[in-house]
Amino acid sequence: MRTKHIHSLKNTKLFKNQLLIWAQQFDDVVWLDSNNYSQKYANYDAVLAVDAFTSIQTDYYQSFEKLKEYQTLTNDWIFGYLTYDLKNDVEDLKSSNFDGLGFPDLYFFQPKKLFLIKDNQVEIQYLKGVKDELEDDLKKINNYDELQSSNQSNDIKIKLRIHKDEYFEKVNNMLAHIHRGDIYEANFCQEFYAEDTDINPLETYTKLNAISNPPFATFFKYYDKYLLSASPERYLKKEKETIISQPIKGTAKRSSNLEEDELLKSNLLNDEKERSENIMIVDLVRNDLSKTAIKGSIKVEELCKIYTFDQVHQMISTVTSKIKETTHPVDVIKSTFPMGSMTGAPKISAMKIIENLEETKRGLYSGSVGYFSPKGDFDFNVVIRSILYNETKKYVSYSVGGAITSKSNPLQEYEECLVKAKAMRTVLEN
């Protein structure tokens, strides 16, 4: 059982900063921040879950069944992540590429302490056993100063796992698969990394979030492993019997010149290649949702709508479905995992080709972070525009990808990757 307390906030921005600094003492931290981005399906402005009471960690084998059992038995808030490699549980696939990070395939925990921020109020939920700590914790949180940047220049040497010529070769190989009819589209990713590197995870996250201000920002800590994410994309959300998927396909850079920025936005909206990428993934999402949907309930609420973020314009579609009350929430995730925007179509063929051409195991990149509520609702993002860090191994990594279709130009795809990588590189190198 949890005790609930509601507090009004005089300065929400300051409280969020103080809360995140205070959270660093714990081994398990999930911070989800919408950056006040106005969107139809938002529940909270920000959420913090810390300090595991119970948890589950597993490799991909029967991972969804184990998660289902854990979620059912806990019947409480649980927070955690699903790595891309859980595809090996869903289909007869493997992940044998290089992995410099070493994150477990799946991890969830039941937090002792939970903070739900909405409209200048915070709802605080503590498990009964730790409720006496609340007043003391609030005093400590309110005594922290706002996080100050150290302004130290990072001496980080970013390396490429796939160099430019090799990238062209691999994209051409993927195009050959498309022209032969093996796939219509696949998301091809490449890793940028740094070895023997120390970073300050919280400061790095704060800088990345300040650059991008995305609606699905995440700071995740599991002992020595960190995810610092400026994700703009929702993977899947459940609200009672409604399922919502919001795939992103189609990216254009921003311009400080208003006229030019509007032109870039308009060009993206009318770009035949970008629209076809998005529509193919919408079809895939509709197919995935149909596995658990009540017949005739799938709707495309938005098709190829342009959303504007601080760094880029994005083409986003919104697909919804209805499920029966008896459908288990984990089954909805399992039947749609991994998300279509990070795989391709047909999905299984695309995942096999991706595995052969990519040089790195994706792990948490292009996986998902989120939570289940006690009522069985859930909300999960797509882990993109993210920095991953293993403090013990001193290994820093960020990956970017793009959808390859028959109309893809390898040079343009490469340049799009660099646009997506810009925020992470800027944060790490400056």
Length of the chain (residues): 430
Per DSSP (E only), the strands in 59-184 are: 78-82, 106-118, 121-127, 159-160
Per the CB < 8 A criterion, the answer to whether 208 and 427 are in contact is: yes
- Collapse the DSSP code of 158 into the 3-class scheme (helix H, G, I; strand E, B; otherwise coil) and give the result: coil
Please, are residues 293 and 323 in contact by the beta-carbon 8 Å criterion?
yes
303, burial (CB in 10 Å: exposed 0-12, middle 13-18, buried 19+): middle
- Omega of the bond prior to 111 within 30 degrees of 0, cis? no
The answer to whether the CB of 316 falls within 8 A of the CB of 246 is yes
Q: Identity (one letter) of the amino acid at 376?
A: G
394 is an active site residue: no
DSSP 162: S
On the question of a cis peptide bond just before residue 215, with omega within 30 degrees of 0, the verdict is: no
Q: Does an H or E element contain 395, and which?
A: strand 395-404
Nearest residue to 122 (alpha-carbon basis) of 200, 10, 220: 10
Amino acid symbol at 297:
S
Amino acid at 115: F
249 is catalytic: yes
Q: Which two tokens stand for residue 422?
A: 């810009």
Query: In the Cβ-directed half-sphere of 31, how many Cα atoms lie within 13 Å?
Result: 27
Out of 249, 334, 347, 352, pick the active-site residue: 249
CB 329 within 8 A of CB 259: no
Catalytic entry in 233, 277, 355, 416:
233
- Integer-rounded Cα Rg, in Å, for the chain is 21
Q: Which residue has the tokens 């479905």?
A: 321
Task: For the beta carbon of residue 376, count every other beta carbon within 10 angstroms.
Answer: 17
Alpha carbon of residue 116 to chain centroid? 19
Of 124, 104, 119, 106, which Cα lies nearest the Cα of 50?
124
Q: Rounded to an integer, what distance in angstroms lies between the CA atom of residue 428 and that of residue 392?
A: 18
Are 63 and 89 contacting, i.e. CB atoms less than 8 angstroms apart?
yes
Question: What are the residue numbers of the active site?
Answer: 233, 249
